[in-house]
Amino acid sequence: MSSIMERFTEKFRKSAELYEQAGDVIPGGGHQSRVVHPFPVFVNEAEGAVKVDADGNELIDYLMGFGALLLGHAHPTVTDAVAQRLRKGTHMGTTSTLEIRWAELVRSLIPSAEKVRFTASGTESTLLALRLARGHTGKKKLVKFREHFHGWHDYVSPQSGINSQVGIPEESMSTVCVLEPDVAEVERFLSEDTDVAAVIVEPTGGHWGQFPVQNPKFLQDLREVTARHGVVMIMDEVICGFRLSRGGAQARYGVTPDLTTMAKIVAGGLPGGAVAGREEIMDQMGTSDPNRRLAHPGTFNANPVSATAAIATLETIADQPINDQADAAAERLKQGLRDALKKMETPGHVHGVASIVHVALGVECDCPGEMCTQPHDRLAQGTAQALSQPLKLAMLNEGVDMMGGIGFMVSAVHSSEDVDRTAEAFERSLAALRGEQVI
């Protein structure tokens, strides 16, 4: 019987050739988050829940644009609107009525959004939010949590679990304080250091919930502590915005931050992001006072094409049961994965909120299945590369592309058949992993 690696190399032969070609012109052979060992799969077309790779293989997709495509690939409402927009012009170098409509939709859905400003990416959104917090408070330090990811700029890179510190000045690093996601620790730190401008948090926990917050009242308590200390609370909803609910994590959990950062779904799966929040903080970008005004240029901020995709997407989410459909598919998937683990007599655990699903092999837990209560070091063992990389390849061999071998971003267009086929693929993948003594 062929090994997982042998099957992968044979099935995705054209991708291997393209990766070698890419290495001549692109450092690392492609975008960091897309490249896996021994080579990434190259895909040029997708529709609904399925994409077709360079070798012609059909893959049930759970990357979904790294969470950006809650409506699935090439949703006709979005693509038709964008096609019409392209014929009218892609960039006029001016503001447009599209920007107003986009902002109004964000404000109608996101509880914290008194005013909205658009960026070109999630990383730009967290950078802008931090600058707004510093401008508003007159303080310079940022508190972030270990393993929480907020993009790749200097101020959010420390201990993100993804970024390295190469090229980041120590002077920048010295303004960032990394804490455990524990409110008591935050309380102690803010009581001792009065130069903190903001606390930024992934509301689902580190890495879109791979490392969930352990206290169900964590967000509420964090809101109370930051407000009492006059520190800006930034909720990073780049991934979970419009996914955990129409109004994101803040609507689901009833916590209103000072600022919210967004990207992915907020731009309809096209390049774009946003920062929204309290009017007095946001108005630093609109004031005529030169001593208070925060400049925020950007060639592609609120560009007409991204705005068009965003409007079509957010109107669909607002008017249709998109979240209910995605959540139901995710619940079916979680049960199917659990059944496969049980059938294969494989220790493991499945958890996740709304349409986000996580898998940790070798980790048993009796939690209800949303926010896992296992210690983070145990979850880290169950999602380590020694397990996640072989699982990623084994699932690709079975026609399923999952997020990093640790989870799934489910969309509203994943059918029951897609989900059931995924659970069956997971069962076969477990058998392959056992055959190679990975588990």
Looking at residue 30, its pLDDT comes to 85
Looking at residue 275, its pLDDT comes to 98
Closest CA to 231 of 201, 262, 204: 201
pLDDT at 159 over 90: no
- Quick one: pLDDT band at residue 271, thresholds 50, 70, 90? very high
Does domain 4-73+321-435 bear CATH number 3.90.1150.10? yes
- Quick one: pLDDT band at residue 161, thresholds 50, 70, 90? low
Rounded alpha-carbon distances, angstroms, from residue 201 to 116, 148, 181 = 19, 7, 9
pLDDT at 131 over 80: yes
Mean pLDDT of 432-437: 95
Mean pLDDT of 134-138: 97
Mean pLDDT of 94-123: 97
Sign of CA pseudo-dihedral 16, 21, 27, 33: negative
Question: Using N-to-C axis directions, what is the helix angle for 13-22 and 4-11, rounded to 10°?
Answer: 80
For 306-336, what is each residue's pLDDT tens digit?
999 999 999 999 999 999 999 999 999 999 9
For residue 390, which phi and psi values (nearest 5 degrees)? -60, -35
Mean pLDDT of 163-189: 91
Under 8 Å CB-to-CB from 73, ≥6 apart: which residues? 46, 47, 48, 49, 50, 51, 61, 64
Looking at residue 278, its pLDDT comes to 98
Global confidence as pTM: 0.96
Percent of the chain with pLDDT over 70: 100
For 190-247, what is each residue's pLDDT tens digit?
999 999 999 999 999 998 988 898 787 999 999 999 999 999 999 999 999 999 999 9
Q: Collapse the DSSP code of 241 into the 3-class scheme (helix H, G, I; strand E, B; otherwise coil) and give the result.
A: coil
Looking at residue 214, its pLDDT comes to 77
For 29-81, what is each residue's pLDDT tens digit?
888 777 788 999 999 999 999 999 999 999 999 999 999 999 999 999 999 99
CA–centroid distance for 143 within its chain: 20
Q: Which residues pair with 201 in a beta bridge?
A: 235
- Structure tokens given for 101: 């409509």
- Quick one: pLDDT band at residue 370, thresholds 50, 70, 90? confident
For 382-431, what is each residue's pLDDT tens digit?
889 999 999 999 999 999 999 999 999 999 999 999 999 999 999 999 99
Q: Collapse the DSSP code of 363 into the 3-class scheme (helix H, G, I; strand E, B; otherwise coil) and give the result.
A: coil
Lowest-pLDDT choice from 107-111, 158-162, 300-304: 158-162
Continuous segment of H or E residues that includes residue 22 = helix 13-22
Measured in residues, the chain has a length of: 439
pLDDT at 179 over 70: yes
- Quick one: pLDDT band at residue 134, thresholds 50, 70, 90? very high
Q: Can you give the residue ranges of every domain in the chain?
A: 4-73+321-435, 76-319
**Buried/exposed code over 384-421 (b: 16+ C-beta within 10 A; e: otherwise):** eeebbbbbbbbbbbbbbbbbbbbbbbbbbbbeeebbeb
CA–centroid distance for 383 within its chain: 17
Lowest-pLDDT choice from 56-70, 130-144, 283-297, 322-336: 283-297
Looking at residue 125, its pLDDT comes to 98
Lowest-pLDDT choice from 98-102, 257-261, 305-309, 368-372: 368-372
Separation CA 81–CA 168 (nearest Å): 41
Q: What is the CATH number of domain 76-319?
A: 3.40.640.10
Separation CA 118–CA 79 (nearest Å): 21
Looking at residue 83, its pLDDT comes to 98
Is the bond preceding 111 in cis, omega lying within 30 degrees of 0?
A: no
